[in-house]
Amino acid sequence: MDFNYEKLDVAKLAKRLILDVYNISKEFPAEERFGMISQLRRAAVSILLNIAEGNSRATKKDYRNFVRIAIGSAVETDCVLKIAIDLNYIHISQYKIVEPIIRELYFKLIGLSNYLKES
């Protein structure tokens, strides 16, 4: 099956971020398996899931609500990664690899949200 959301730039960026987050979080301490690792991965995956679910909704208002949730998940992902730096779970150089993806994704999601609001 080919779904419309898969063609969206935001969905492609979200998928790339998920793969990067999973790779980065492999280096976290084992005791964080059910803590930060789980939270970080769920936040990153939530971005794509909300894009997909919103895209399937009948109204633009519903779609926009899911996009807003995806924005929150992007911010959450960024926040957890910054905490991981502070705890020395990852090096800042690893964050600098994903930060531009998060930033681009954030602003594209804002743009999609604004488009859905205006149309």
CATH of residue 29's domain is 1.20.1440.60
63-72 contacts, C-beta under 8 A, 24 or more apart: 63/116, 64/113, 64/116, 64/117, 67/109, 67/112, 67/113, 67/116, 68/113, 70/10, 70/14, 70/46, 70/109, 71/106, 71/109, 71/110, 71/113
Count of structural domains, the chain = 1
Rounded to two decimals, the pTM is 0.94
- The stretch 10-27 carries a mean pLDDT of 96
Query: Which residue range forms the structural domain that includes residue 101?
Result: 4-118
* Average pLDDT over all residues of the chain: 94
Contact between residue 83 and residue 13 where contact means Cβ atoms under 8 Å apart:
no
What is the model's pLDDT at position 2?
58
Based on its alpha-carbon atoms, the radius of gyration of the chain, rounded to whole angstroms, reads 15
What is the model's pLDDT at position 51?
97
- The stretch 34-42 carries a mean pLDDT of 95
Residue 1 has pLDDT above 80, yes or no: no
Residue 14 has pLDDT above 70, yes or no: yes
Residue 117 has pLDDT above 60, yes or no: yes
What are the pLDDT digits (tens) for 57-115?
Answer: 989 999 999 999 999 999 999 999 999 999 999 999 999 999 999 999 999 999 999 99
What band does 118 get if pLDDT is binned at 50, 70 and 90?
Answer: confident
What is the model's pLDDT at position 119?
76
Distance (Å, rounded) from C-alpha 83 to C-alpha 11?
Answer: 25
